[in-house]
A = this chain, B = another copy of it.
Amino acid sequence: MTAPLPIIDGLQYSAWSEAIFRQMRDGGLAAVHVTICYHEDFRETVENVIAWNRRFERHPDLITPGRTADDVRRARDEGRTAIVFGFQNCSPIEDDIGLVEVCHRLGARFMQLSYNNQSLLATGCYEAEDPGITRMGCQVIKEMNRVGLVVDMSHSAERSTLEAIEISERPIAITHANPAFWHPARRNKSDAVISALAESGGMLGFSLYPHHLKGKSGCTLEDFCAMVARTAERWGVCMLGFGSDLCQDQPDSVVEWMRNGTWTRDLDFGEGSADAAGFPAMPAWFRDNRDFPGLAAGLRGVGFSEEEVGRIAGGNWLDFYERSFGPQGGSADGAADGSVR
């Protein structure tokens, strides 16, 4: 009998604890892509890597570093959760293209080219104008392709996203967002973006963050799963996964920091507002990692086959990891030691 397809979550940023790692196990998560940077520079990001190294030491029965697809399969077989590092911004590479390779070596496998605002590489979805990928951005995408650091455009603006898909020689990801046809939030993605992503072999991780859901915190599991079905009908099942954007146990000061970093003296409310500035309440059917089996059941409920559920719940992400985390032109998983030369 073949091993079951792993469950993989395409993005989380929780206040990490043993309790959360146990919930990952209870939910059957073989891998979670965790954010280790929103605004941190290189040195601060390294400090976050160190914090994860301590967690790996402290909870070897629950979590393990996830640097390759093989790491994820091994974690699944051993009953652990592989932790894949990613950046929601390009701040860790500062203005130094040489840091791309260094960050990959340190375990980073996803990097957003921009987070809400204009970056040195690309435009964020909250800017009034979107001029597309910058001169440095073109250079950095090429370098990310070379070493196997996945371009993530979740918080980027439309034109920048389309250009990143075009410029990147390897498929990119939108780790956590939903189709705008379902809920036209600023962070959700247009048909044009999803089509370009599908054609290029990219991945879309469906978000469970209430601002990305139709009906927000009141969104029903049925409505969410019907949206997944509609997306699959239009673009196929193979590009689809989850990217819950779960920010469990974080105080509201964290979402304020995500939105404001140190770039403004006025207060920015991002997807929130002055009278609803904090984290929104998660939908009742997705409180934490233990609810992934319920999500899978919801997909069955709207007619997905068992194989399709397995693909969406993690199989597609695993294939994408296999294709994406090693050096360009190298053998699959050739970067098991992080080497790119």
A residues whose Cβ falls under 8 Å from a Cβ of B: 39, 41, 91, 94-98, 117-120, 123, 126-132, 134-137, 139, 142-143, 261-266, 268
Contacts and interface: CB of A to CB of B under 8 A. Distances in A.
Q: Which A-B residue pairs are the 3 nearest by beta carbons?
A: A129-B131, A118-B134, A96-B262
Nearest to A126: B135
A96 B136 CA distance: 21
24 contacts: A39-B95, A41-B95, A91-B95, A95-B262, A96-B262, A96-B263, A97-B263, A97-B264, A97-B265, A117-B120, A117-B134, A117-B136, A118-B118, A118-B134, A118-B135, A123-B131, A126-B135, A128-B135, A131-B131, A135-B263, A135-B264, A135-B268, A139-B263, A139-B266
Contacts of A265: 97, 139, 142-143
Nearest to A116: B135
Copies in the complex: 2
A136 B139 CA distance: 23
Main secondary structure on A side of the interface with B: loop
Nearest to A264: B139
Given A95-B261, A117-B134, A143-B265, 9 more contacts: A95-B263, A96-B263, A117-B136, A118-B120, A127-B135, A128-B131, A128-B132, A128-B135, A139-B264
Contacts of A123: 131
Contacts of A139: 263-266
A107 B136 CA distance: 30
Nearest to A262: B96
A24 B119 CA distance: 40
